[in-house]
Structure 1
Amino acid sequence: MWRKATASGFGALNHLCRRHYSSSAVINSMLLRSLKEHYLEVSKMTPPPKVNPPEPFTVVKGALDANGPVLRRSYGDEQITVSVMRLANIIPGGGAAAAADDDADDINQLFLHVDVSKPGQKESLLFLCGLYPDALGIHSVSIRPRPHDSDSAELPSAYTGPLFEDLDEGMRDAFHSYIEERGVGDNLFPFLQAWLYVKDHRNLMRWFKSVGSFVKENKSV
């Protein structure tokens, strides 16, 4: 009697397992098909025309696959590096009033980190800026430890300087002239916009491929 009941119980369990496996396989198949379709669709997107950075800026090697600086140049004995991301990634949403312009804002509003360093100095001057097709606006100016001179877990001083908008007009204009003389202005926009498109496209393709590989591996297990 016990042997019969046990066999019956295992039979029901095996049936449930088969149903679960069958359902999981269908879901995996649907997901893989969707990932492949989107991968192929994205792969056919036409990239923007190739744009070179304004001289004497050069592209940092490996920047497309990293989160660090994109452009670099020398200015006298100074080293100028520029990092970029979309402003929408810093301030998501933007409120209902801006909803209608979200698509345009995503590609026409960039956020820059401009780092100015000098040899022998442990600190560098950091500008956080908004970059647009026809303008560059400074959000803040601060002094921070140079990345390679400080421990990755070490935080800069709590005081990063006054609000840029609180500075008098003459000083704000002087800071704008300071970075413009070092080649940082709206002239960088065409290259950085195209560069971000290529980076976003590459990351999206990699994401579809990586998720698909994971689901396939999970399916086989």
Structure 2
Amino acid sequence: MLRKAIAGCAVHQPWRMIASRSSTTASSAVDSILLRSLRDHYQEVAKMTPPPKVSPPSPFTIVKGALESSGPVLMRSYGHEEINLYVMRLAQHYDDDDVIDQLFLHVDVSKPGQKNSLQFLCGLYPDALGIHSVSMRPKLQSDGFLAVPSKYSGPVFGDLDERMRDEFHSYIEERGINSHLFPFLQAWLYVKENRNLMRWFRSVGQFVKGA
């Protein structure tokens, strides 16, 4: 009886079964095209020549596992202070045929026994460093992530008088925060961004395949 019912549906409403098969076939074709594109782009990124290996300026050292996390990239000690640096690409523009990067640098200066740390948000260029803001914020969490402040953290940096702004620049320059960091951080970001892109192509491909 069930077979007769199915057969009857196929006779009287054949378009439903045909449409289902057509939809499945089209979906499979679309998936295959997307998977091929993901694979091709993955291989293209994998073949890219990385920039020459650059070491961070002494005495900064690379934080273990930095390429796989969103935590600090570099750290150093300065007397009894601990300094951690975070970085991301802020902008990229062109001057004639040259690509010029502007990096966004977050500097965290902490001291033992103090709940807050002094934090600087800076723009880093190949030949200069500019401070965007200075604030007092809770110390780094144990996982390396920055805590969101719950209280007033400081004035707009541009509202400070020129002398104080210059003194803050001298403060971080004394601790090695300057344009000499740019070559390493630029190369490090290239490697990190390529790894993230390859990981994205791979994970999307695995999802589409249902793996």
Regarding TM over 0.5, the answer is yes
Deviation at 1:10, TM superposition (A): 6.6
* TM score, norm. by length of structure 2: 0.88
Residue 30 in structure 1 maps to residue 33 in structure 2: yes
Deviation at 1:59, TM superposition (A): 0.4
| Counterpart residue identity of residue 176, structure 1 | H
Provide the C-alpha distance between the structure 1 equivalents of 2:135 and 2:6, rounded to a whole number of angstroms. 78
Deviation per residue, 1:40-99 (Å, 9 max, x gap): 1111111000000001100000100111100000001100000000113xxxxxxxxxx9
Q: Which has the higher helix share?
A: 1
The residue aligned with 1:170 is 163
Provide the aligned C-alpha RMSD in A: 2.7
Q: Which of 110, 113, 125 pairs up with 1:120?
A: 113
- More displaced stretch, 78-87 vs 106-115: 106-115
Judged with a 3 Å threshold, the aligned counterparts in structure 2 of structure 1 residues 212 and 17 are, in CA distance, closer, same or farther, namely: same
* TM score, norm. by length of structure 1: 0.84
Deviation per residue, 1:74-132 (Å, 9 max, x gap): 001100000000113xxxxxxxxxx9739989751000110000001000000000000
Provide the C-alpha distance between the structure 1 equivalents of 2:181 and 2:132, rounded to a whole number of angstroms. 17
| Counterpart residue identity of residue 134, structure 2 | V
- Partners of 1:84 and 1:110 within 8 A in 2: yes
Q: Which has the higher strand share?
A: 2
Q: How many residues align?
A: 206
Residue 56 in structure 1 maps to residue 59 in structure 2: yes
Identity, in percent, stands at 64
| Counterpart residue identity of residue 89, structure 2 | R
| Counterpart residue identity of residue 44, structure 1 | K
Provide the C-alpha distance between the structure 2 equivalents of 1:19 and 1:146, rounded to a whole number of angstroms. 59
Deviation per residue, 1:13-66 (Å, 9 max, x gap): 332221111000110111111111111111111100000000110000010011
Provide the C-alpha distance between the structure 1 equivalents of 2:147 and 2:179, rounded to a whole number of angstroms. 33
Provide the C-alpha distance between the structure 2 equivalents of 1:103 and 1:217, rounded to a whole number of angstroms. 46
Give structure 2 stretches of 5+ with no counterpart. none
Residue 191 in structure 1 maps to residue 162 in structure 2: no
